[in-house]
Structure 1
Amino acid sequence: MANPVLEAEPDANAQNSEESDPDDWSREINGMTVEFLDGGVVDEESPNFGCTNSGVFREKVVCWYNKPIRTAWLHWGGKGEETAKAVSGCFGTGIYKVMGKEVKCDSPALIDNAWLVRIFGFPSCASKQQILQDIPRVLRPKRMSLDELSYTSNLPSNNGDIELLLEYRAGDVMFFEPVTHPAFADDDRYGVIADFNTAEDAMRALQLNGSTLEFYPEGTLTVEPVYAAWIKVPSRAWNAAAWDADSQGDYRELLRQVSITEYPLASEGCRLVVIEGLAREKVVAAKKTLEAILHGEVVEENDTAIWIPFSEDNGRLSQSVRELQGIVVIRDARMCQLRLVGDLSQRMEAKTRLIKIANESKRLSSHNCDQTPQGADCVICLTEAEDPVQTSCGHIYCRGCLQDLCTHSARNEEKGIQCRGPRDNDATCNFAFPLVELSRHLPAPKLEAILETAFDAYVSRHPLQMRFCPTPDCGHVYQVSADRPKDGQSAPTHPCARCLVSVCTWCHIPAHTGATCDEQQDMMTGGYRALARAKMELDIRDCPRCRTLIEKNGGCNPYPVRKREHGSIGLDQFFYPELA
């Protein structure tokens, strides 16, 4: 699937035709369609900036059916038994191949005073020379005959039949096209991709897996889900990433494993990047790799992230990178970080300039300028406060003690992070620190870790409302189903946007297709196995119509069950079918 080209508009003030040439504004670099960056730019990170906005699609499936195959008969004379066995063995073990692929082979058979070997399963386009290519001349048969094709290959007609099957059995097909991307291609099968209107229609399409094809009665239709994830990224960050040759090595490797399609969102100044593949693990890995590329490099000095607040910038940040081509500086206020996206050599130069500006402003991210009285005791360790911090309620803490208090409270307290200092009446202060105050006293990475701990603890304390994805190391949160599923039904599933696993919101395990929640719980707890043992020991059977359990504990065998409930099934036939 080709990537749509972003149409970038040239500057209205351009003075010559060379500057207004669209090729100077939109080009493809290392496989990525980008806009031309005429110098470095600085971006303030917003909720849509970076790769924080992402999700999954579940509306696509891919349908496969085998390409037409042929059968060849190799003929030797009546004295060619040993030669026929040798050739058959080589085909059977994969030593001999047809067009580089292994084929199936029968044992030699003596028919009409001639030894014959049948080989089959090779592409219909194989010529006689290609079939015999791996066989040495001294072992080649005297003659060879070819059977007819397994079916007539008429792609437009065959694909149209599959589309009609999907629309009749699953739902409206919004988009239908043959497989062309290398990540989906299969040399032995034809493939078509169907895009449905809803995920429910796609799930119904998956149930057609194994269906018989009208145009190929001996073959079956294979239906597989297409795993898809998307991320929204600002166009300028995407453009800058295209200049990073190191990153593009990873990007080109991704293109061999998954399909990556870019859709420009001109009104938002962003790109919607859709990642699709047949293997969930590859799509997840591609998404993580792409996010790492677009996240950029954190500018650090002595392993400490530098930070230049907007209030102290005065335009120096933009001026310092203006003449550096293909660079984007991301000002991440939440983490108090500056990140660089773009060409490696230009990033190195930009890093040197940014560190110089940060040193001039005396604002490294780990530095804080609290006006705290010296010599006061910490309310936690009751010794002279080290690196003292004074809270808005007037109490003094060591900075390390305050960090430990915040971490402990975030993990164990539901009322927030409260001051532990004393009050005049020997009571505890219990002042709840607002987030703004914590951000003044704690380094940004430490505050971020504390907030994550608080969120994890909140989720753990409310298991009836939300839970973590059961996939190890995923960490994504989903909403729990509020009501127990009705008998014979399953709870809604949640497609995890991080690991792409669909989770049952009632059972809290990967979605159990084909079984209700109650059936899945019985299978997990052993209830089904215990019931099966009891039925066998007590000679209890399931009614073949309504599945009601029936136990024969007396009466005569020919007594029939009432027709309006179970049909005319005699108990003698039901419990003793060998007497029927």
Structure 2
Amino acid sequence: MTRGETYLSLRPAAKKQPAGAGHKAPCIFFARGGCKKGEACPFSHSTSGPIPEKTTGDKNVPQGVLPKPADAPDSRSQIPCHFYLKGSCLKGTACPFSHPSRNQNGPAAVEVPDASDPEPAGKPDNWIREIGGALVQFGDGLAIVKTSLPSDFSAIHISMLPPDSSPLSVSGFLAGLGFQVAEECIRVPPGKTHCAASVRVEDPTFAKRVCEVFGKLPGSQIKVAATNAPMTRGSSLQRVECKKVHCSWHRSLKTVWLNFKSKEIATKVEAKFSAGSYTICGQKVKSSGVTGSRKLNNPQPWTVTLTEVPGDATTMAVEKTIPNALQPAHVEIGKPSQVYDMATANALVKSKLAEFGSLDWWEDAPKVGTGKRAKAKARFQDEGDASEAAVALDGWTIPLRSGAKVQLNVQAIYSARFKVTARVFSVTEAVIDTLRPSWLAKHVFFTPYKVSGPNGHAVLRLEGVDKDAVIKAKASLEEILAGQTAVDAQGKDIWTPSFAVNSTVFKRLKNLEETLGIVIVRNKRHSRLHLFGPPDKCKEALLSLAELATEDPSTLHTIALTAPQFEWACLGGFRGLMQLLGQKVNFDITSTPKQILITGTDTDYRLALATVAARKQPTSSPNPPPPTEESQDCTICWTPADNPVLTPCAHIYCASCFESFSFASPRPAILRCHGALDTCRAVLPLSALTDLLPSLTILEDLLTSSFTAHVRRHPNVFRSCPTPDCPQLYRVTADVAGVFTCPSCLAATCTGCHAAGGHRGVSCAGWKAALEGGGEVMEKLKKELGVRDCGRCGTSMEKTEGCDHVVCGGCRTHICWRCGETFKTPEACYRHLTERHGGIFRY
């Protein structure tokens, strides 16, 4: 394949071919109903394609148009009507082409989002998260389905493409060169004179291989260059994102004058319109009051002026909304501000937005509404697309066929979402309401959704056009939802082992909740209490909790069970201990080995230990069964569940017990249910975790914890950046020398042997041998390879191409490669090269 042939594969040349030639592009005029050139047309008049309904006997049919078989379906009905999408089609229902936004009853029904859904018509969570610089796909049971790192991707930029190029044509073009690339990996930005495309593929060698192929095809106008491959963003949960845009434009409106003979009737009608009781075409309108005519001979001297009336309203539509007894003597209708079809405007705006990227959902601007402006909403899959669309389309004139000059306004919307238990939201809502006026002053809107029952959840959303204002509102909301950690006057956590179990002390804690109208959440993982509610009530609770913890002499004791002892406990032994010691006893069937927990004095512990050792059975019989849904006992601790949660496999847990076992260490590869004496083992679906865990914050912590454990289990696949506290990861390349430059701290590391600074051009074995051989061997090896050390941080560097200005990968110092002198800015280095060495290149 030559370079020129590659170019033509994207855009076939439109030169004439003799009739009957092999492959020809279809004739668009023939497809629309007729072609005046007939057989002389260089394009195809295929009878299998769109054919007009007229026969050749009609004198209006151009020469060359073939008759359509009577039983053949009209394939044009599958093609959108070009004129309809532009604004109007004169043929109406007689048009053989498709009017996609219209049905027999007029414009398509408006898709009204569910008010209880925080993301109307949106996709469910894809469970992709960005952790440590990696894009992680989670599956049920917290299984790690896929992990992608920036080094797994490569990208190219293709320029000088034909103006009508699309992702499909670019995909076909690359396929012709031997590269199979899906359309979703290709982006063609709109509005370019010389069309360009960005291609991003999960293949680290893709860009290099494509450039090599193009290097062997000289003479083409198309240019290809390797570029950085940005990572896509993960979930939007609890971070500020910008994927949504709000679109608005002026409605078609008119003014209507109602003339009455009686002032009394005019006043009644005007009051009804002002109150919204009377609507025109289902839309509320504005009324400017009742005015009297200055003409003495006017038979209808009282006038009610209505504004913001729908542009397609007729006299009949106006009169229909007013009762017969209050009908005006005369109705005068002004000209509409502009004439256009709302369904068409919606279709054009949606289509234009789609040019900037894939949409997750779109909400039409309703035909009937209030106010002067029609308002539509869209959500993009990628954040960059939303921002770009907002900048490019704000002020764009919608190309309506009717000729109406309708200007589009587009705003990028920043948003953040939270999820908390209904209990927590119920006591913090009043505190949140005190902040809402300050948020509204910055045009940040707060909306709660899905509050259901005491054990349900509330999804909260913040939205606004000002990113900084949304970030500040998010921080203040996070502070409220994080609660207050219970600490004493010395700043120590208020905690006693009795708080962790459903004991008598815990009952007093619950009474304190009810008395003060707050929520106290037990964090068993960290042995802390978190208080939620009005600050003054939480402060009052701290005194009571500190006193309660001081009074309680209990200590937590554990009794590890052997296999026979565990069997004894399940067959009634645990119930016997509860009869003996009351609620001081708890089970833990998730630990290895299984444990019985005693929260009490040393005397209680010794009594329990002796009972377990003797394996005494309880005096009462029969033995009660393990916890079931009907018993409302927790699957883990075997006591009445506190704030119970129910798994899809119908097993009940205390909310805190479920959270604790979810974060258990060592982390299992798959999270499974421990119901039915740890025999259930059902994989817990990800969709259920959002309801089983108290908040989205804890869910995100759990996902991060699961991935961290996965990385630890696979040290031969993933490693962390060697810089302390740097969270970035890199992929291990066995004994192959590759260099990972951390995007966070800029530290360079060999991906094979993990040597600091890397060692380009030298194998890991060779580098190790040089280190073992001492400094002289290392320096000799560096000299042979052309490797030098940075004069400031000592990072080893190699220059393979380009000018003699280099930048250290470790400390980002600007260096003259010829003499080794260092500079703070690139300009200073270039000036030095010019003045000292006569130029920036060495010839």
Return the TM-score normalized by structure 2.
0.26
Choose between structure 1 and 2 for higher RCO, CA contacts under 8 A separated by at least 6 residues: 1
Return the TM-score normalized by structure 1.
0.36
